[in-house]
Amino acid sequence: MPMKMALGRQPLTFMTPSGQQRYVPLSHLYFDETNTLRGDRWPHYNDFKDILDKRLSVLSASKEIVSGPEIPPPAEKPAADTGQAEKPVDPVSASVAPVSPVPPTDGDAVSSTTADSTADAVADSATVQPPQKSSTSKK
């Protein structure tokens, strides 16, 4: 039986013998193969083992912390580098297929502009117009 996540509403809290309040995140708790709530993934577990084990037993029995889905296995490590690097790609000699434009549909308005007509339109819009005289004159 694989290990399962511990689910609850809040982190585990307890008081140390010296009066400090400590928190154990739920992500550090889990249910083992025997369905026992465990806290040994918490870095300070060994310092407070007796207190934690008693508290975990009570929380599990009272269903304040319940078992959830199985914990997924760790991700696989990438394969060892064999020392064979990939061949570099020469951008000049690499062949790239041109992208064909999407054909227009019946509802699309299509204008047939050419480079010459576009250049003429830009030149016409760039022509500076002289300021017009106002019809009202100042006296």
**Full-prediction pTM beyond 0.85?**
no
117, part of any domain:
no
Structural domain boundaries, residue 49: 4-70
134, part of any domain:
no
The closest alpha carbon to 45, from 56, 35, 58, belongs to 56
Give CA–CA dist 11/65, Å, rounded.
10
SS (H, E, C) 88-124: CCCCCCCCCCCCCCCCCCCCCCCCCCCHHHHHHHHHH
pLDDT in tens, 22-74: 999 999 999 998 999 999 999 999 999 999 999 999 999 999 999 888 877 77
Chain centroid to CA 40: 29
90, part of any domain:
no
65, part of any domain:
yes
pLDDT in tens, 65-123: 998 888 777 777 766 666 555 666 666 655 666 666 666 666 555 555 555 666 666 66
31, part of any domain:
yes
CB atoms closer than 10 angstroms to residue 42: 19
Provide the number of structural domains found in the chain.
1
